[in-house]
């Protein structure tokens, strides 16, 4: 034990060669402090990533007010595209931490986000910028969404099983708050000339001046600062190293794909509604200034995510997920009655309230499905490792590595909802003049998830999910 303690004491070393968080003496004496330091640097880095990822949800709705002339469908496309690269990027990001190291990758993946921010600010300042250039910028902003997979994977290696629920819940939940922080801060900074000589304002009919480029530039100094904090304050773990080939077998597990579908319905809804809700509100109720309170939905969803994990710890992830999908289906059906039509003016306040409920349930479901994923994959990996004759330590390490890879890969599938939802809104509006068709598709999807949750997991794996789990998000 003395050797472990001596190595861990020297935490100024950026690569820790011995890391045994499930050893109580090691954890209490030194491991907890190191893990907390890495977690509390990881959280703001992930929060900034979500800010950049969803930047177009606040920028697109204002582009035509600063000199551009894009169609509604084009603007919806710009809000949807970041989810494409975010989802695709999460696949390699799921496996990158054991290959590169958490500290090095956090620094790189945070610092690189400066590029789309600067490019977007430049494009906004030049009204002759083509739509195709904005498409490229939106795709680059999407890279920020991939950081969730690597960040969650990295933090999972630092904490013992008994505390991973809280750690991953904080990392994921507070990281998700980046969407709300961005949507709250952007309306404030675009109304102030804080970058004098760099950005120019555009006078609006209301008499206000809009400095839209500020929406992108405001994140640059924070990205630089957090990259430096990660470089000097975080650690790489030697014990977490594994090749991509060692992690790939997790893709052969059938439950990976079933759980991916459930996570698509929960987190995909959260990120999709976050991306498309402001544009949808503007098209249905143009008399209301949605920018004033568009941050509220992502805020509620992000705060609900840790609660979903906590409830799952006590009640079982399957039970919580099942009830949650029923609630999502009911709320989606209720939206039908709030939308304006030829015979009905609609009700903005009921529309807004019901969507706030959808944000809450999508956040709760994100936490409960992540709990299911962690519990099920840890059990599957541990069982396979023991059957293969591995020692208990080796079995635990393999279960941890497989679970981290599964969590990252499933998060990639879930992220694609950020593309499908705003894209579905845009297509539905362009073809039928109403978002009803898109909402009907979502309703059918949620109902199918109710049956999948019960018939695939509720009857077969309830024993695993109702055990007092140590892992939630």
Query: Which pLDDT tens digit goes with each residue over 189-237?
Result: 998 888 876 777 787 777 788 899 999 999 999 999 999 999 999 999 8
Tell me what the mean pLDDT of segment 449-472 comes to: 63
Q: What pLDDT, on a 0 to 100 scale, did the predictor assign at position 2?
A: 39
Q: What pLDDT, on a 0 to 100 scale, did the predictor assign at position 405?
A: 72
Whether the per-residue pLDDT at 468 is higher than 50: the answer is no
Q: Which range among 142-156, 243-257, 433-447 has the greatest average pLDDT?
A: 433-447
Give the model confidence (pLDDT) of 49-92 as tens digits.
999 999 998 899 899 998 899 998 999 999 999 999 998 998 88
Tell me what the mean pLDDT of segment 152-178 comes to: 82
* CA dist 27 → 162, 169, 264, 351 (Å): 12, 20, 35, 49
Give the model confidence (pLDDT) of 388-398 as tens digits.
777 766 766 67
> 238 φ, ψ to 5°?
-65, -35
Structure-model confidence comparison of residues 368 and 253, the more confident one: 368
Of the pLDDT bands very low, low, confident and very high (cuts 50, 70, 90), residue 255 is confident
* CA dist 452 → 222, 321, 397, 460 (Å): 42, 11, 30, 11
d(CA 473, CA 468): 14
* CA dist 329 → 103, 370, 402, 421, 447 (Å): 41, 20, 32, 15, 6
Q: What pLDDT, on a 0 to 100 scale, did the predictor assign at position 469?
A: 42
- Which residue ranges form the domains of the chain, and what is each CATH number? 2-465 (1.20.1250.20)
Percent of the chain with pLDDT over 90: 46
Of the pLDDT bands very low, low, confident and very high (cuts 50, 70, 90), residue 94 is confident
Q: What pLDDT, on a 0 to 100 scale, did the predictor assign at position 437?
A: 94
- Say if residues 424 and 177 touch (Cβ distance below 8 Å): no
**All residues at 6 or more sequence positions from 406 whose CB lies less than 8 Å from its CB, including other chains:** 250, 253, 256, 259, 373, 377
Percent of the chain with pLDDT over 70: 88
Whether the per-residue pLDDT at 248 is higher than 90: the answer is no
Q: What pLDDT, on a 0 to 100 scale, did the predictor assign at position 205?
A: 74
Give the model confidence (pLDDT) of 258-286 as tens digits.
888 999 999 999 999 988 898 899 889 98
Q: What pLDDT, on a 0 to 100 scale, did the predictor assign at position 9?
A: 42
State the alpha helices, DSSP H only, in 336-387. Answer: 348-387
Q: What pLDDT, on a 0 to 100 scale, did the predictor assign at position 460?
A: 54
Q: What pLDDT, on a 0 to 100 scale, did the predictor assign at position 414?
A: 86
Structure-model confidence comparison of residues 270 and 314, the more confident one: 270
Query: Mean pLDDT over all residues of the chain?
Result: 85
Q: Model's pTM, two decimal places?
A: 0.80
The torsion defined by the Cα of 418, 421, 426 and 428, in degrees rounded to 10, comes to: 170
- Say if residues 53 and 82 touch (Cβ distance below 8 Å): yes
Q: Helix crossing, 348-387 with 392-415: angle to 10°?
A: 150
Give the model confidence (pLDDT) of 28-45 as tens digits.
988 899 999 999 999 999
Of the pLDDT bands very low, low, confident and very high (cuts 50, 70, 90), residue 318 is confident
**Residue in 54, 80, 292, 300 with CA at minimum distance from that of residue 190:** 292
Specify the range with the lowest mean pLDDT, choosing from 291-295, 327-331, 406-410.
Answer: 406-410
Whether the per-residue pLDDT at 333 is higher than 90: the answer is yes
Structure-model confidence comparison of residues 444 and 23, the more confident one: 444
Could you tell me whether strands 209-210 and 236-237 are parallel, antiparallel, or unpaired per DSSP bridges?
unpaired
Paired residues of 210 in beta bridges:
202
Of the pLDDT bands very low, low, confident and very high (cuts 50, 70, 90), residue 326 is very high
Structure-model confidence comparison of residues 371 and 351, the more confident one: 351
State the alpha helices, DSSP H only, in 10-143. Answer: 24-26, 32-53, 55-59, 72-100, 102-111, 114-124, 131-142
Whether the per-residue pLDDT at 3 is higher than 50: the answer is no
Q: What pLDDT, on a 0 to 100 scale, did the predictor assign at position 246?
A: 61
d(CA 96, CA 98): 6
Tell me what the mean pLDDT of segment 283-292 comes to: 84
Tell me what the mean pLDDT of segment 244-262 comes to: 74
First to last CA, the chain: 32
Q: Is 195 helix (H, G, I), strand (E, B) or coil?
A: coil
């Amino acid at each position: 034990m003395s050797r472990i303690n001596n190595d861990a004491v020297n935490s100024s070393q950026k690569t820790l060669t011995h890391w045994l968080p499930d050893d109580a003496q090691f954890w209490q004496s030194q491991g907890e402090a190191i893990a907390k330091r890495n977690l509390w640097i990881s959280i703001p880095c992930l929060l900034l990533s979500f800010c950049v990822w969803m930047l177009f949800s606040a920028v697109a709705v204002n582009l035509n007010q600063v000199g551009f002339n894009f169609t509604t469908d084009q603007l919806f496309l710009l809000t949807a595209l970041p989810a494409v690269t975010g989802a695709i990027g999460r696949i390699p990001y799921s496996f990158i931490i054991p290959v590169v190291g958490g500290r090095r990758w956090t620094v790189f993946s945070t610092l690189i986000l400066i590029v789309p921010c600067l490019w977007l600010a430049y494009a906004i300042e030049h009204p002759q910028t083509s739509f195709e250039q904005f498409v490229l910028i939106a795709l680059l902003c999407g890279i920020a969404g991939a950081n969730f997979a690597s960040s969650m994977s990295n933090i999972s290696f630092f904490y013992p099983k008994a505390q991973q629920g809280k750690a991953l819940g904080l990392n994921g939940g507070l990281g998700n708050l980046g969407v709300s922080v961005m949507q709250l801060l952007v309306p404030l900074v675009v109304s102030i000339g804080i970058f004098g000589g760099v950005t120019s304002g555009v006078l609006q009919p209301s008499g206000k001046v809009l400095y839209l480029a500020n929406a992108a530039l405001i994140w640059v100094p924070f990205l630089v600062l957090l990259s430096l904090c990660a470089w000097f304050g975080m650690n790489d773990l030697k014990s977490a190293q594994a090749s991509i080939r060692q992690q790939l077998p997790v893709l052969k597990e059938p439950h990976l794909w079933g759980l991916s579908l459930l996570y698509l319905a929960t987190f995909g809804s959260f990120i999709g509604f976050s991306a498309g809700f402001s544009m949808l509100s503007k098209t249905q109720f143009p008399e209301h200034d949605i920018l004033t309170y568009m941050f509220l939905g992502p805020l509620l969803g992000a705060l609900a995510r840790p609660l979903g994990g906590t409830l799952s710890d006590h009640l079982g992830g399957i039970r919580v997920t099942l009830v949650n999908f029923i609630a999502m289906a009911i709320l989606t059906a209720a939206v039908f009655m709030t939308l304006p039509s030829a015979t009905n003016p609609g009700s903005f306040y009921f529309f807004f309230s019901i969507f706030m409920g959808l944000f809450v349930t999508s956040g709760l479901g994100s936490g409960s499905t992540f709990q299911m994923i962690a519990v099920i994959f840890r059990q599957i990996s541990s069982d396979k490792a023991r059957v293969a004759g591995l020692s208990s330590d080796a079995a635990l390490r393999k279960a941890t590595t497989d679970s981290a890879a599964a969590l990252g890969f499933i998060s990639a599938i879930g992220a694609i909802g950020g593309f499908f939802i705003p894209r579905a809104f845009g297509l539905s509006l362009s073809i039928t003049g109403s978002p009803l068709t898109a909402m009907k598709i979502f309703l059918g999807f949620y109902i199918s998830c109710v049956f999948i949750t019960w018939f695939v997991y509720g009857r077969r794996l309830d024993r695993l999910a109702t055990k007092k789990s140590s892992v939630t998000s």
